[in-house]
Amino acid sequence: MNQTYNTILTQKGVALLDNATSQGVPLKITQMAVGDGNGNITKPDATQTELVHEVRRAAIDKLFVDNENPCQIIAEQVIPETDGGWFIHEIGLFDDRDNLIAVGNYPATYKPNFIEDSDRTQVIRMEITVENTEAIELKNETTEVFAARKYIEPRADATQTAATQKYVNDAITAKITAHEKSTNHPNATTSAKGFVQLNSAINSKLETQAATPLAVKKVYDKAVKRAGDTMTGQLTLSNKGLKINNANNDSMTLMTLNDSYSHVFYNAKTNTSARKLDYDSTKNIWRFQNVKDVTINDKSVLKAGDYGIGSSEGAPLRNANDVLLTGFYGTDLVNRPGLPDLGGLDNVWATLAVYGSGNQWGGHVEQLYVPGFRGPRILSRNVYNLTDKMNWIESITETNIDRFITPVGVPLPWPGNVPPAGYLECNGAQFDINKYRELASTYPIGRLPELSTWYPNKKNKFIYIVKAK
């Protein structure tokens, strides 16, 4: 059974045309739509308000009265080569308010696009029969649209399925005439249009010939690198550098500036960039920056907190009880927590050296504390996993040897009324035998002797003191 193709006015279209006739205001039919009918050729229905499955809608290129039938309106639309990839089974006309005026079915036609290696431009024609053509506002076709056509597709109407012979003949004649007029041209130059010869060479210096796709492909294959290609020769970096992207959106950029060369790391999570390794060719110096640990052959050679040779100070110390990373740390005018209380200025401008197997997760280290404001003193202690810390022990040096040769608990005269650091006044007061264990071995009841104060001339005051440990 043969399929019947026809176009009908919708109920809405009939009402709008009647209103346009009575009001004397032409109906504006502005758009044509095509659809695939969900894979089937449709049967037009006057009650329709939309296509079964619309795939494209665009402005009408031409709307005119058929010269051979004054009661027929012909609408045309050019579908460019860039649109397609679907079948056309149904068509429709819409006014400027998106009302479906007419609907029709269409012979199954596949419209390819340029991606499918086709540059086919297609013209869709649709005819509707009306009682009063003056009730519809017509639209003349532009020269550019007419020139863009490749060929004429069958039109859909109630009486025929092909374009009129006169229309086709007129179109062919116009094309031939235009082509004949266009062949009388001079050769093209870089400053004037004209005929041009093709050339597939890639080393030519001619300016009167055009490169073929084969020549373009040869240049592309030589110039464009793809995944897996091997590049030979010298690579020159621009001032923006060479960027290497990671799968997690992080990146590493190799940059050059004057006499310097830098590795810059970008962290996508924090949206920050930091220089990691710099080379100064003028001074022949490599510099690590913003790096916590540097390893060579899986062995750490530099960690955060290490004291660099030639540096004026160590890493700043905040709390000695939290330090397990090996290295040197500098103190300032503040007596930081965890350091021994030496009293006064003996706690400032000092250095804490940390040795051992410590790291940020734990380990055993030895801390060596060297205050030097009043002369060097050396104290040390062991720390394990920041939980087990031994007491600070002072080593004997030439500076403090006199303090060590004085026995604990032996009264000594002192020219003043306030005992020095590490000593107690012999005034008969009680002392903590658990805190001063060595002193308690001399005075086991925890009471200091009460010794009289001597005033030889009532100008110089002496008190007796004992070393307290």
Determine the Cα–Cα distance for residues 457 and 60; give it in Å rounded to an integer. 126
Q: CA neighbours within 13 Å on the CB side: how many for 14?
A: 7
CA 178 to chain centre: 54
Question: 235 is written with which tokens?
Answer: 């690579």
Is beta strand 315-316 parallel, antiparallel or unpaired with respect to 327-330?
Answer: parallel
Which residue ranges make up each domain of the chain?
7-179, 185-233, 242-291, 301-394, 406-469
Handedness of CA 219, 220, 221, 222 (dihedral sign): positive
C-beta separation of 88 from 36 below 8 A: yes
User: How much is the pLDDT for 151?
Assistant: 37
List all residues 6 or more positions away from 123 whose beta carbon is below 8 Å from its beta carbon: 76, 77, 78, 79, 149, 151, 152, 153
Cα distances (angstroms) measured from residue 92 to each of 120, 157, 367, 376: 22, 12, 89, 99
**Residue entry with tokens 């550098």:** 241
C-beta separation of 104 from 7 below 8 A: yes
For the chain (length 469 residues), average pLDDT per consecutive 10? 80 91 89 94 94 95 89 91 91 95 92 75 89 80 41 38 48 60 68 80 82 82 69 69 84 81 86 85 81 75 53 58 70 69 66 69 72 72 72 71 71 80 88 90 90 60 81
Q: CA neighbours within 13 Å on the CB side: how many for 23?
A: 10
C-beta separation of 153 from 95 below 8 A: no
Domain made up of 406-469: CATH architecture: Alpha-Beta Complex (3.90)
